[in-house]
Chains A and B, each alone.
Chain A
């Protein structure tokens, strides 16, 4: 299933989450910790802005020549003994993976991968009778609690360790388990070790594909990835076509900006780069599925193309004041936060997730931290424009908001009309002024304002009226009595 589900729009999905005190505490604490770590390790880099510029240029250049670099990657990966598969969409990608795994195994071990979330691989595998086992601790937590990831890098960010203790105690039958972090990781370690040793097929995502060498790069913190990449006989990687970098040396930039932005680490504990297969060392069969899934559609929109520059560090999520309030589930999408707000609707060809580009105050915190300098606020505004444009004719003509916007424009195109509107507003507001002397309840769309806020009434005189009156009487001006 490629498209994110359209169950609820952002404002309605956010509502129950805003009332969930535990979840909001968890999100607040986790994003705060990561943000502080990030600020520290970014602040110590004298060339951080130059790195961002380089990263941006590498990504821009790659997108411009994407087809060339993908073909180069295919050539080099194949020459090294890898097998490259092309998937136009989620269905094709899932079919390829299932076909490869089906005859070899009844279960697969998995490295954390947002791309496999995007294509709904786990559901597809289960439907085909193959049991996927998530080996990243947070993904394991999410999988065992039948939950959804709420963050690109920290999928169980919305859950705290007391909740993890309760979960593992139940699913792993460990009644004596404490909520010490060491005990929890030890429990997961013991559980996973057997899976690593017994399972012949592993599935991974990819952080980068190196066109020049045909190599695939994965960075991780727990070592579960290294296990999956080395122990099984067969390794299947799934990567969006946007993951390619031209040269091996481009990793010099990427591997500096990614860990610092993602987890606030100078370097990831595990950095794996492998190229094809090597007899007697590691998996003897390596497949890579290159996934389009509407990425070429995004590439076609010059004003939104930079969405594909994303390297999935999640820094924008940690910095976002909207995400901070709701966590990731309000976005009803695999990709949450600011990047999700621009990526999700585009992956759905703007047919779903239309409330997401509006789930932002355009404060710009995401752009400020983005290591590849995606101007997310600009893209959000552009996508809002596309959403307005694609509204059905009826809605664009008679929709309340559209009428209000056109009416406001009509007023603003004439000073006389603006003055008249100000006068009418001063008269009409009397209907809404409460006992406190302020406006306490507004009708219709504007009622959103007065749900938590009052509004000071319009004063009896506009600025333009004041200025005009003052200009008429020069004596007053000369005496400096402006009030």
Chain B
């Protein structure tokens, strides 16, 4: 299958290793990955912060860039939630009938990465080996917008050598929330402390999630407080084939 990757603006810039891991998993499963170079951002930050007029051109751009692609893979559930929950409303508000029609045909083609694997490609064993103690953090969008349920855990459960430890208060937000983390930095920081506490209780080596946004938030405090646990996007675990300790690929 030909799969178009929407890497998302922040993964492109800050977490290229996640995109590389996604490509690795999909190609290992025999698929071809396209990367439409004109892609940039889904408009989530603008839209959620109240700059809805500014988000509209980004929505148009996204629709154009992915017009010809049948299956679009997004390794970020909050960006998928932006597209799925808001694009139709934005199109209606724009009064542009063509955009409305385009969004209608776009929506069924957009998949979050783990959703693509399990629901579209019908795979839950991607042939990964990852001999580490891991806890899974369910991002709010994966949980309440995409209703991913146990999809990520089914994939992780098939990874060889992995030791999965459940996280307490799984449904509680880590406090990121996009510009919330800056506008309400103190409250966001207090929420983060609660989440870190639960993560530490698992004694996991690695905390994973479907969203690098949450992980960036957690990682920021983990680094500040010099804690032992580290964060990895789920794609990284699913791409791993054992071997060495798999250090973070800072130098791609």
* A residues apposed to B, CB below 8 Å: 10-11, 14-15, 18, 321-322, 325-326, 330, 357-365, 367-368, 378, 381, 384-389, 401-402, 405-406, 408-409, 411-415, 418, 422, 425, 436, 438, 440, 445-446, 448-449, 451-456, 458-468, 471, 480, 482-483
Query: Is residue B250 contacting chain A, with contact meaning CB distance below 8 A?
Result: yes
A364-B145, A405-B54, A466-B19 known; A358-B186 Cβ under 8 A: no
Q: Is B9 an interface residue (CB 8 A)?
A: yes
Q: How distant is A8 from chain B, measured CB to nearest CB, in Å?
A: 13
- Given the known inter-chain contacts A456-B223, A460-B251, A483-B252, please indicate yes or no for A412 contacting B7, CB distance below 8 A: no
A459 pairs with B12, CB closer than 8 A: no
B15-35 toward A: CB 8 Å interface, digit per residue (1/0)?
111111001100100000001
**CB < 8 Å neighbour of A463 from B16, B57, B140:** B16
| B187 touching A14, Cβ below 8 Å | yes
The answer to whether B229 has its CB under 8 Å from any CB of chain A is: no
The residue of chain A having its C-beta at the shortest distance from the C-beta of B179 within the complex is: A358
Residue interface bits B34-58, CB-to-A below 8 A is 1, else 0: 0101111101011111111011011
A471 to B32, CA, bound (A): 12
Contact between B185 and A413, CB atoms less than 8 A apart: no
Beta-carbon contacts under 8 Å, B194-230 to A: 194, 216-217, 219-221, 223-224
Check B38–A415 contact: CB distance below 8 A.
yes
Partner among B27, B172, B184 whose Cβ is within 8 Å of the Cβ of A359: B184
Question: Which residues of the partner chain A approach B1 to less than 8 Å between Cβ atoms?
Answer: none
Question: How many Å lie between the Cα of A296 and that of B229 in the bound state?
Answer: 52
Q: Are B186 and A11 in contact (CB under 8 A)?
A: yes
**Residue interface mask B106-149, A partner, CB < 8 A = 1:** 00000000000000000000000000000000001101110000
Does B101 belong to the interface (CB within 8 Å)? no
In the assembled complex, the Cα of A406 lies from the Cα of B58 at a distance in Å of 12
Report the nearest B residue to A467, measured CB to CB.
Answer: B35
B13 x A454 contact (CB < 8 A):
no
Determine if A463 and B12 form an interchain contact, defined as CB atoms under 8 angstroms apart: yes
Nearest A residue to B184, CB-CB:
A11
Judge whether B184 and A14 touch: CB under 8 Å. yes
Q: A462 touching B24 by the CB < 8 A rule?
A: no
Q: When the two chains form their complex, are residues A448 and B185 in contact, meaning their CB atoms are under 8 A apart?
A: yes
Listed A/B pairs (14) with beta-carbon separation below 8 Å: A11-B184, A321-B173, A360-B180, A361-B191, A405-B46, A405-B51, A409-B55, A415-B37, A454-B221, A456-B216, A458-B13, A464-B37, A466-B16, A480-B27
Given A409-B46, A466-B19, the answer on whether A454 and B224 have CB atoms closer than 8 Å is yes
Q: What residues on A are CB-neighbors of B45 within 8 Å?
A: 405, 408
Specify which chain A residues have a CB less than 8 angstroms from the CB of B54 in the assembled complex. Answer: 405-406, 409
* Contact in complex: B192, A452 (CB < 8 Å): yes
A453–B13 CB distance below 8 A: no
Q: Is the CB of A326 within 8 A of B187?
A: yes
Contacts of B194 in A (CB 8 A): 321, 325
Option from B19, B48, B141, B251 in Cβ contact (under 8 Å) with A381? B48
**Residues from chain B with Cβ under 8 Å of A422 in the complex:** 12-13
B27 CB, nearest partner CB in chain A, Å: 7
In the complex, whether B242 has a CB less than 8 A from a CB of chain A is no
Query: Which partner residue on chain A sits nearest B185 by CB separation?
Result: A448
List, in ascending order, chain B residues with CB within 8 A of A18's CB: 186-187, 190
> Which interface residue of B38, B185, B189 has the most chain A CB atoms within 10 A?
B185
Q: What is the CB-to-nearest-CB distance from A249 to chain B, in angstroms, rounded to a whole number?
A: 32
B70 interface contact, C-beta 8 A = no
A466 near B192 with CB under 8 A, answer no
Q: Are A455 and B220 in contact (CB under 8 A)?
A: yes
Residues of B within 8 A of A458 (CB): 13-14
Given A362-B48, A449-B181, do A322 and B187 touch, yes or no (CB 8 Å)?
Answer: yes
Additional A-B contacts beyond A388-B52, A408-B46, A453-B223 (8; CB < 8 A): A322-B184, A357-B50, A358-B184, A361-B181, A362-B140, A384-B50, A415-B37, A464-B37
Q: Which of B164-178 contact A (CB under 8 A)?
A: 171-173, 175-178
Is B249 part of the binding interface, using a Cβ–Cβ cutoff of 8 Å? yes
Contact A364 B40 (CB under 8 A): no
CA distance A15 to B185 in the complex (A): 10
B144: which A residues are within 8 A, CB to CB? Answer: 363-365, 367-368
Please tell me which one of the listed residues A359, A413, A415 contacts residue B187 in the complex, with CB atoms under 8 A apart. A359
Report whether A361 and B173 are in contact in the complex, using a CB–CB cutoff of 8 Å: yes
Most chain B CB within 10 A, of A11, A321, A389, is at: A321
Q: Are B189 and A413 in contact (CB under 8 A)?
A: no
With contact pairs A368-B144, A413-B57, A467-B35 given, residues A11 and B49 touching in the complex (Cβ less than 8 Å): no
- The answer to whether B189 and A362 have CB atoms under 8 Å apart is no
Give the CA-CA distance A463 to B37 in the complex, in Å. Answer: 11
Q: Does B61 contact A (CB under 8 A)?
A: yes
